[in-house]
Amino acid sequence: MTTTITVTVNGEARVLPAGSTVADLVAALGCKPAQVAVERNREIVRRADHGAVLLVEGDRLEVVTFFGGG
């Protein structure tokens, strides 16, 4: 049985334990949950759902925050 999954985060492959949620990913990246937004396969994952949404093999994720800009 597979114990890990590979997902793409901000364009980079990343191996996570099977059964990881979006919240687990955010924690693994060391991000402050209140300062990131996550898109999974081009759909927004609402912050309230981060703990409930399971990641699966091949998911493509964008994890973003604010940077200086005009």
Partner 1 sequence: MGLCGASARRTIASVTLVDTPLVLGPHRFTSRLFLGTGKYPSMPSMVDSLAASGTQCVTVAVRRMQLGVPEGKTLLDYLPREKYVLLPNTAGCFDAEHAIRTARLGRELGIGDLVKLEVLGDPQTLLPDPVGTLEAAKVLVKEGFVVLCYTSDDPVLAKRLEDVGVTAVMPAGAPIGSGQGILNPNNLRIILERAKVPIVVDAGVGTASDVTIAFELGAHGVLLNTGVALARDPVRMARAMKAAAEAGRDAFLAGRIGKKLYASASSPTSGVIAGE
- Contact residues: partner 1, CB under 8 A: 9-12, 14, 29-32, 34-39, 42, 44, 46-47, 62-70
- Smallest distance, Å, CB 17 to partner 1? 18
Half-sphere exposure of 27 (CA within 13 A, CB side): 9
User: Residue 2 or residue 65: which is nearer to partner 1 going by CB?
Assistant: 65
Whether 67 contacts 16, CB under 8 Å: no
- Smallest distance, Å, CB 40 to partner 1? 11
